[in-house]
Amino acid sequence: MAVLQRIGILAHNTLRAAARQRLFHLIILLAFALVLGARWFREFNFGAPELKFLADCGLGAMGFFGAALAITATGQLFFHELETRTAQTILAKPVRRSEFILGKLLGVGGLLLGFCVALALLLIAVLWSRESELMQQLPEAFENGRQVNYAGVLLAGALQWLKLIVLASLTLLVASFAQSQLFSVLAGFAILAIGHLQHLAHDAYRRSASAAVRLLGGAVVSAFPRFDIFGVADGLDAGLPAGSDIARVVAYGLGYAGIACALAIFSFGRREI
Amino acid sequence: MVIAIGLVMGLAGFALDGVGEPVGAAIRRREPELRLEPAMNTGPGILLALLGGFRGPVADALWLRLYSSWERQDIAGTRALVRLVTSVDPRPAYFWINGARMLAYDVAAWRMAGGSASLREDARRQIRHEQAGEALAYLDAARPIHDDSAAVWMERANIALNQLRDFEAAAHHYRRAWEAPGGPYHAARLHARALRLAGRPREALAWLVQLHPGLPCDDDAAAAAAVLDRIRELESELGVPAAEAYRPQEQ
C-alpha cells in the first residue's frame, strides 16, 4: 500500500511539474488550435468528405503533437530531476528506483491522458457542430441520421493514448541510461519514425529469399513497436473495429510498454546518479 | 547493457509481433502499402503523414502539387504524384478516379503532342493503349479498399471503352458498377450498349428486358422510356417477331 502511495505521490508531482512547463502549454495550444482551425482549412480539402477531413485533422493533431508531448515531457521531466539533484533527495528516502521510474511514467501517462481526452472531446464537439450544420443544409444526405461514429472517435483517441504511453515508456527506457536529455529526446523521435515505418520494414524482410536475413531482420525490427496498428479505429466511416482486434492492440501496447518499463527499471537501477 | 536491452526488446517484440500482426495485416488489406518514390522530392509534409497523422491533409497538399505538375504537362511529375497521393491517403475514391483520368487521357495526349507531328495512327493507338493499361493497373491498386465503389468501376469501364475500345471489358466493368452499392442507372444502360458494341445484341436485349420492369417511372435518372426505346431498337435490329416482343407491364 505504501509503495502505491509513494508511486502516486511521484506521479502527482510529475504531473504538477509538467503543468508548469511552457513548452507543453505551447504544444497543447497548437494541437487545440489545429483542431479548432480545421474547419477553416476545409477549402483545401479535395478527396475526403468534409467530416472525415475534420476527423483526420483532429486525430492527426492528437498523434503528432501527442508524440511530441510524450517524448519531450518524458525526457525533460526525467532529466530535470537528475540535474536539479531532486532525484538524489527522493531516492535517499525510502523510495525505490523502480518506484521513481513508475511514478515518472504514470505522471507522464496522466498528462497524456488529459491531453487525449481534452482533444477527443474538442474533436467530437467540432464534428458534432459541423454535422448539425450540414444536417440542416443537406437533410437528404442525413436521412439515416448522423453519419459520424462518435464512439469510434473516442476509441481512436484511447488507442492514440496507448500508443503515446508506449512511446513514453521507450523514451523513458532510453533516458534511464542516456547521459543527456537531448539524446533521449532525439532517440524518442527516432523511435517514433521507426515505429511508423515498421510495416514497410516488416514487408521488406519477409520478402527476402534468405532465411538468415529474415531472422536477423525480424529480430531488429521486433525491437521496436509498430505504430500503424494503433490507427485501427481511425477510419471514421469504417465502423468500430472487431473486439478481438482492439484486444490485440491493447495487449500489444501494454506488452511493449511493460517490457520497456521493466527494462528502464533494470537500467536505472544500475545507473550511478 | 544497451546491447542486452536491445536483445531483450528484440526477443519480447518477436513474441508480441504475433499479437499485432493480424491487425497490421487487416489494416494493409484496407489500405494499400505505402510506396514512396525514393528519387522524388516529396517535401517535409510527407514526414507528417509518415509519422501517423494528417494523412488526409498531406494528401490534399500533394494533390495541389499534382495540379501544378499537370498544368505544366510534366509527365514524370504527374505520374509520380498521382501514385504518391493515393499512397499517402488511399481512402478517397476522388484521388483514384481523377488520377486514373490523368494517366489515361492527359498523359496520352501529352505524349502524342510531344512526339513527331506526323505520328502515325498505329503509334497513337499504341500510346493510348499503354496509358489505358497504366491507368487500369493504377485502379487495380484501389481494389482492396474500393472494390465496391460504383464510381471506380465506372471509371475503369470508361477507360476500357474510350481508350482501349475493349467492349467486353467495358461491359463487365459497367455491370460491376451497376451491381455496386448505389450503382447508377446509366451503368446498367451502358452495360447493354457495351454488349451491343461487342457484337452481343441478344444479350444486350435480354439485359434491358430484365432491367426495364424494375425501373421507377418517376425517376428521370432511371430513364425507363429511353430503355424501352433501346429495347425496341434491338428487337427491330434482331428481327424479333411482334408476338415475342417485350410487353412492359402497366405501372
Query: Per-residue pLDDT tens for A214-228?
Result: 777 777 778 889 888
Dihedrals phi, psi of B201, to nearest 5 degrees: -65, -30
Share above pLDDT 90 across residues of chain B, in percent, rounded to a whole number: 54
Please give the grid coordinates belonging to residue B60: 490534399
- Nearest 5°: the CA angle B68, B73, B75 is 105
Residues 39-68 of A with CB under 8 A from B: 41, 44-48, 52-53, 56-57, 59-64, 67
**CATH value at residue B80:** 1.25.40.10
Same domain assignment for residues B125 and B216: no
Q: Tell me, rounded to whole angstroms, the distance of Cα A48 from its chain centroid.
A: 25
Report how many domains make up chain A.
1
Please determine, for residue B46, whether its predicted confidence score (pLDDT) is greater than 70.
no
B27 vs A225, A228, A251: nearest CB: A228
A110 vs A117: CA distance, rounded Å: 10
Same domain assignment for residues B85 and B51: yes
A150 vs A221: CA distance, rounded Å: 34
- Determine the residue type at B229: D
Same domain assignment for residues B127 and B226: no
Same domain assignment for residues B215 and B167: no
Same domain assignment for residues B50 and B130: yes
Report how many domains make up chain B.
2
Least confident range from A138-147, B135-144, B232-241: namely A138-147
B41 versus A270: the higher-pLDDT residue is A270
Same domain assignment for residues B163 and B56: yes
Same domain assignment for residues B71 and B170: yes
Distance from CA of B168 to the nearest CA of A (A): 31
Cβ contact, residue pair A199, B6, below 8 Å: no
**3 state SS of A123:** helix
Task: Give the count of beta carbons closer than 10 Å to the beta carbon of residue B93.
Answer: 18
**What does the pLDDT look like over A13-28, one tens digit per residue?**
888 888 888 888 888 8
Cβ contact, residue pair B2, A48, below 8 Å: no
A144 vs A146: CA distance, rounded Å: 7
Least confident range from A80-94, B146-160, B185-199: namely A80-94
- Determine the residue type at A104: K
Same domain assignment for residues B130 and B211: no
Range of the domain at B236: 200-251
Q: Does A37 touch chain B (CB under 8 A)?
A: no
Q: Would residue B57 count as lying in a domain?
A: yes
**What does the pLDDT look like over A75-109, one tens digit per residue?**
998 998 888 888 888 888 788 888 999 999 999 99
Q: What is the mean pLDDT of residues B25-32?
A: 70
Q: Which of B184, B219, B239 is the last residue of a domain?
A: B184
Least confident range from A119-123, A162-166, A227-231, B198-202: namely A227-231
Helix A243-269 × helix A97-137 angle, to 10°? 150
Same domain assignment for residues B99 and B46: yes
Q: With contacts defined as CB-CB under 8 Å, which chain B residues touch A256?
A: 12-13, 16
Query: Could you tell me which chain A residue has the CA closest to the CA of B90?
Result: A47
Least confident range from A104-118, A241-255, B31-45, B125-139: namely B31-45
Q: Would residue B193 count as lying in a domain?
A: no
Please determine, for residue B182, whether its predicted confidence score (pLDDT) is greater than 80.
yes
Q: With contacts defined as CB-CB under 8 Å, which chain B residues touch A48?
A: 56, 89, 91-92, 94
Range of the domain at A189: 2-269
H or E element at residue A34: helix A22-41
Res B133: pLDDT: 96
Q: Does A247 touch chain B (CB under 8 A)?
A: no
Q: How confident is the model at residue B251 (pLDDT cuts 50, 70, 90)?
A: low
Distance from CA of B140 to the nearest CA of A (A): 19
- Kindly indicate whether the ipTM for this predicted assembly is greater than 0.95, answering yes or no: no
Q: What is the mean pLDDT of residues A39-67?
A: 81
Please give the grid coordinates belonging to residue A175: 533516458
Q: Would residue B194 count as lying in a domain?
A: no
Q: How confident is the model at residue B38 (pLDDT cuts 50, 70, 90)?
A: very low
Res B233: pLDDT: 93
Please give the grid coordinates belonging to residue A145: 441520421
pTM exceeding 0.90: no
Least confident range from A162-171, B3-12, B201-210, B217-226: namely B3-12
A259 exposure class (CB count in 10 Å sphere: 0-12, 13-18, 19+): buried
- Nearest 5°: the CA angle A54, A191, A73 is 70
